[in-house]
Structures are given as C-alpha cells and as structure tokens.
Structure 1
Amino acid sequence: MSFELLNYFIFILQKLRSLTTLAAIGITLLFAWKMLRTPQEQPQRPRRRAATSPSNTSSRSRPGPGALAPTDACTSSADSRAHDAINQLFQPANLTLEQLVRHKLSEGRRVTCRLLGVILEETTPEELQNHATVRPSVVEVLLEIAKFCDIYLMDRILDDESEEKVLSALSEAGLFAGGGLIKEKVLFCSTENGRTSFVRQLEPDWHIDTSPEIVHQLARFIKYQLHISPQRPERIASNVFSSTSLEQYFGGLDQR
C-alpha cells in the first residue's frame, strides 16, 4: 500500500512540475509579446529637420583671411551687445577692481596684449633699444587679469638686448612675482605680422593692441578686442572696444 501511495505522490509532483514549467513559459511569452508590440503602439513624434545648405553639409573649417561665416558675424554682434549691457549694469562705484576686470572681460579666460604703448611707456621698437619702462598705473590691472586669465604679452623687437630690457623692466615692476605673469608667456617677434600670427595661434578671448591695422585684421577671428588709442577712433567692428589706456578701460572711467 505504501508503495502505491509513493507512486501516486511522484505522479502528482510530475504534474505540478509540468504545470509550473508551462506557466513560466506562458508568462515569458506574454512579456516578450508586450515588449515587441510596445514600440509600434507608441505614437511617433515628428522630428524637426534643420534646413540644409551646401555650407551645412561640408565639414567645418576655420575661415581664412577675408572670410567670415554669417553665423559667426551674428554671434559676435550678439555677444558685443551683451557685453555692452553688462558694462552699463555694473558701475565702477559699486564694484572692486577684481569685479570690474571680470565683468569687462566677460569671463574671458585667455588674453593677448601688446607691450608697446599699452604696458610700456615706449611706443616703438627703436625706443626699446635704449630703455624699457613699465607704466606704473597698469601694474595692478595686469596682476588682476592674471589672477583668472591666461595672459600673453607680445611685441616686435629689433635685437636681443631689447628683449632683455623688456623682461628686466617687467620683473622689476613685480609682474612676475607672487603668481602674476609668466615670463615664458612674454613673446617677441621681428615683424608686425609675427604678432598677428601669435594671436591667431593662441586664439584668445580678448586681444589688446594699439595698431588699427592689426585690430582690423583680427576682428574676424577674435571674440573681443580692445583698441588702445589716445584719440577716440571710430569703432572698427561691433566686437572691438576702444579706450585711451588699459587702466582707464578697466577702471570704469571709459564710456563707450
């Protein structure tokens, strides 16, 4: 009797195992069916297609001299208007020099600047053969810029002695001390085109120069420029600002 009862229990267990297996297979098939069907039941959202043009289909490359993409021109103009608006909102009476420098530079992170006529009292390479003198009023502004910007100074010289005079004057003014400017980022060249080439290679957010020709050449390639001139020249481009000196521009005394 016990043997027949044992066979009966084995038969029941086999039936239950078969039912469990069938149930598991059924559930698996149900989930698979739902997963396959779900993408078809979801309505497809219409996609916006950007208008294509020959310029969009070609690979982007840096514009050559004399060529400026329309989108770059629009962006530069919009950025310039935003920069003007910021300068109107932040008045020098309410801000520290650090805050003024940051706002004037529109949070730029790389700056290139000419030495002659901006940092130095001298205005020609010939004068540098005899002496080099840092303008005292510009030191504080330069050190403030160097706190949060990667700054490069550059200019044309006629001999190695001029280079030594310039570096010595910058050092004596304290511009290389205490985490200020970096000596290796003072660059020299033998031609005006060399300075333009330096700027193009470094791709700064700002370039500061006294030469209207170089400022005009770089207006298409540099986001912002500051043209230093004793006179108030006409604005070369929407992204070019002007001032009689570097410290006056960042001191907030200059109204454009």
Structure 2
Amino acid sequence: MADISKEELFQVIKRLTLKISNLFSIPPNDLNSQYIGAVAGLAVAIFFIWRLLRSPGGTQHMQQKWQGTTSASHGVSAQTNDSVAPSGVSSPLDDSRAQNVVDELFQPVKPTLGQIVRQRLSEGRKVTCRLLGVILEESRPEELQKRATVKSSVLEVLLEITKFCDLYLMERVLDDESEKIVLVALEDAGVFTSGGLVKDKVLFCGTENGRSSFVRQLEPDWHIDSNPEVISQLARFIKYQLHVSPIRTEKTAANVFNAPSLEQFFGSV
C-alpha cells in the first residue's frame, strides 16, 4: 500500500465514493448480506487510506521515493518529464490500479454452509427427517435387514442442521435387528459425535402412518421425506416440508419444496 501514489489513492477514494452512492440507491428491502459486508469493507478501507494519507511517515516515504526516482533519472530528465502526467490528471495506469483495488473490496462474500442452512430453513428450530432415501443410500425397509449405508455427501449438511436445530431422524423398519444396523451405521459415520444428535432422537416405527404420527406429535418447523404420500398427508399440518426425490416432481403445495437430495437443496454439491 505504501507504493501507491497520491493520485492513485485519490482515484481509489473517488471510485469508493461512487460505490457508496450506488449502494444507497438500492431500496432497503433489497439489501442483503453481500451489500452489508461490502459497506463494512468500504468503511475499513476508507479509514485505512485516511490513516495512510495523514501519517507523516507514509507521506515522507512517497516523497522520498519520488525524489529518489527523479535524481536517478537526472540525465534523461527531458524524456522523463515528457512522460509524466500533469498534476491533477490521472493516467490510465492509475485508473486501472484504483479500479482493481475497488473491485477487490467489492468481491461478493460467499456464505458459509451454516449460513445457507439457516437461511434455507428460515431459521426453523425443529426438524424431522426420514432416513431411507435421504440420509441412507438404501430406499426400502427390506434392505435395512442386511445393511445401512450413510451417504457421505449428506454428512456435512446433517451436522450443520444439528448445530442450531432440534433434529429427529425416523424410519419404518421390519424388525429390531434393522434398528441396530441403522444405529451402528449412524454412529460409525460420526453423526452422534457433534453433540447435536443423540440416539434417543432416532425413532423407529412399523408403518408409514406411524412416521406421520411421529411428525405430527413433534410439530416440527420442517419435515423432510422421500415418500410423496407422507408429504401430501402432512402438508396441512407442518409449516414447511422438503420432498427429496431423484425424479423431478411438481410442487404439490406452497409449503412443500422439492430437491433431488438433501445436500443439493442446500447447495453443498
């Protein structure tokens, strides 16, 4: 930053001012976290530039550098003077460097996965979620009698949900052995290590209606399921639902969202 000239600093401030005026011309309802972050970065940048300009050390450094340059080129002063832009007139190079500084400051800030999860769930605090076809690779209860495989791609999203939501997982199983297989698979995948999800919040039932009953009793803000019939039955009781299906389906209700997978709904893949 010490190598930038006064003219370049002037151009940076000028372009930052234009950015401020553009930002404040946006209707308040349209402001988002990117614009707020840009204003914060702008304030820091202007303060830093102001400190640099008023600092005696910073000014002397620029003056010494300029004097050293002119002394070293004394023998070719005529050529040098011809190439120096008049005072108060910015050169294309100054404009380019100043614009680069401004552009870097206004690079959009990419939200974290946790921020995306909270935003997509509309700050909901309780979530119920089916296991088959959403958390597990398997899609039928019969498969759980032999194995249960947690999707590696869904783990990060699942753990982010548990950080700020009361999450309940549930599934229909055919026997007690299936329950044990599912719990072991979840434990091996590290689902219970974050502290947000415990084994007591993994619920099992013998019918699809039993799962619907669990959901209605828990009264979550969101329910996530891969069975369209369950989604349809719960649409008038649950605030929001996510229907997970690899096949594109039409939206059945205003409060029902569709996605090929849980992780794709949150844009993590």
| Both structures adopt the same fold (TM-score exceeding 0.5) | yes
Q: TM-score, normalised by structure 2?
A: 0.60
Q: Residue in 2 aligned with 1:159?
A: 175
SS where residue 207 of structure 1 aligns?
Answer: strand
Q: Residue in 1 aligned with 2:133?
A: 117
The answer to whether the aligner puts 1:142 opposite 2:158 as a matched pair is yes
With over 3 angstroms needed to count, the CA separation of the structure-2 counterparts of 1:101 and 1:159, relative to structure 1, is: same
Q: Residue in 1 aligned with 2:229?
A: 213
Contact 1:206 1:224 in 2 (8 A): yes
Output the CA distance in 2 between the equivalents of 1:162 and 1:141.
25
Output the CA distance in 2 between the equivalents of 1:204 and 1:149.
10
Output the CA distance in 2 between the equivalents of 1:118 and 1:147.
19
More helix per residue? 2
* Aligned pairs for 1:200-239 within 5 A: 200-239=216-255
Percentage of pairs with the same residue = 69
Output the CA distance in 1 between the equivalents of 2:247 and 2:253.
17
**Cα drift, residue 252 of structure 1:** 6.1
Which residue type is aligned with residue 197 of structure 2?
Answer: L
With over 3 angstroms needed to count, the CA separation of the structure-2 counterparts of 1:185 and 1:93, relative to structure 1, is: same
* Aligned pairs for 1:18-57 within 5 A: none
With over 3 angstroms needed to count, the CA separation of the structure-2 counterparts of 1:161 and 1:233, relative to structure 1, is: same
Which residue type is aligned with residue 220 of structure 2?
Answer: P
- Give per-residue Cα distances to partners, 1:38-59, cap 9 Å, x unaligned: xxxxxxxxxxxxxxxxxxxxxx
The answer to whether the aligner puts 1:128 opposite 2:144 as a matched pair is yes
Q: Residue in 2 aligned with 1:96?
A: 112
Which residue type is aligned with residue 253 of structure 2?
Answer: A
With over 3 angstroms needed to count, the CA separation of the structure-2 counterparts of 1:224 and 1:158, relative to structure 1, is: same
**Cα drift, residue 170 of structure 1:** 0.2
**Cα drift, residue 180 of structure 1:** 3.2
With over 3 angstroms needed to count, the CA separation of the structure-2 counterparts of 1:213 and 1:172, relative to structure 1, is: same
Structure 2, unaligned runs of 5 or more? 1-28, 35-107
- Give per-residue Cα distances to partners, 1:190-245, cap 9 Å, x unaligned: 00000000000000000000011110110001000000001110101000000000
- Give per-residue Cα distances to partners, 1:52-93, cap 9 Å, x unaligned: xxxxxxxxxxxxxxxxxxxxxxxxxxxxxxxxx99xx67997
- Give per-residue Cα distances to partners, 1:111-161, cap 9 Å, x unaligned: 000000000000000000010000001111010000000000001000000
Output the CA distance in 2 between the equivalents of 1:173 and 1:113.
17
SS where residue 188 of structure 1 aligns?
Answer: strand
Q: Residue in 2 aligned with 1:180?
A: 196
Mark the structure with the bigger radius of gyration.
1
Which residue type is aligned with residue 216 of structure 1?
Answer: S
Q: TM-score, normalised by structure 1?
A: 0.63
The number of residues matched between the two structures is 168
SS where residue 94 of structure 1 aligns?
Answer: coil
**Cα drift, residue 251 of structure 1:** 1.8
Q: Residue in 2 aligned with 1:105?
A: 121
Structure 1, unaligned runs of 5 or more? 1-84
Contact 1:225 1:241 in 2 (8 A): yes
Contact 1:100 1:252 in 2 (8 A): no
Contact 1:228 1:246 in 2 (8 A): yes
Contact 1:121 1:135 in 2 (8 A): yes
Which residue type is aligned with residue 205 of structure 2?
Answer: C
Output the CA distance in 2 between the equivalents of 1:186 and 1:93.
36
Contact 1:209 1:227 in 2 (8 A): yes
SS where residue 129 of structure 2 aligns?
Answer: strand
